[in-house]
Amino acid sequence: MSQLIAAGLPVLYNRQQIAARVAELGAQITRDIGDEKLVLVGVLKGAAPFLADLSRHIDVDATFDFVAVSSYGKGQRSSGAVKMIKDLDQSIEGKNVLIVEDILDTGITLSYLRKLFLQQKPKSLRIAALLDKPSRRIEKIEADYVGFSIPDLFVIGYGMDFAERYRNLPDICLMPPENVESK
């Protein structure tokens, strides 16, 4: 079904490229964490596929938690205001925490989460972003682990959406500008 949905969409990264890079990131995180425990905090909804795949390549004792925040609504540009929709279910005090995000764009959402989580005094706090768009950065923040750095393109697939659609595409595709403007 996803091939039918994606028919005609330009592919930026195919599923094989994504899988290979996610495996590399998992190995790097494993080396960095050592024999410590880790809490993976997925930023819903977009990071769910990335977190699932990444976690299978991290060879440490790890647990999952999730937050849901919004700064986009139904559009393609950040509103600039972050709204917490779902907070953590567990305390992260004294724990090694890895925020797992699909895309680091303006930095507004991750800056908000980093400040919020640092108030809870984790042992360490790192960020993994599948995609990084440094040209769009408003807040000064960098990810510790980045899958791919991309120019200012609107992407869908592998968890990333347009108005809640296309998250199930296995590849990261470019959304043609005429499709974005016509919605």
If you count them, how many residues does the chain have?
183
Distance CA 77, CA 53 (A): 27
Neighbour tally for 144: CB within 10 Å? 16
Is 105 noted as a catalytic residue in this protein?
Answer: yes
The one catalytic residue among 53, 61, 65, 105: 105
Structure tokens at 181: 């403007």
Identify whether the C-beta of residue 95 lies closer than 8 Å to the C-beta of residue 75.
no
End-to-end CA distance of the chain: 22
Take residue 65 and report the two structure tokens written for it.
């938690």
Catalytic residues: 105
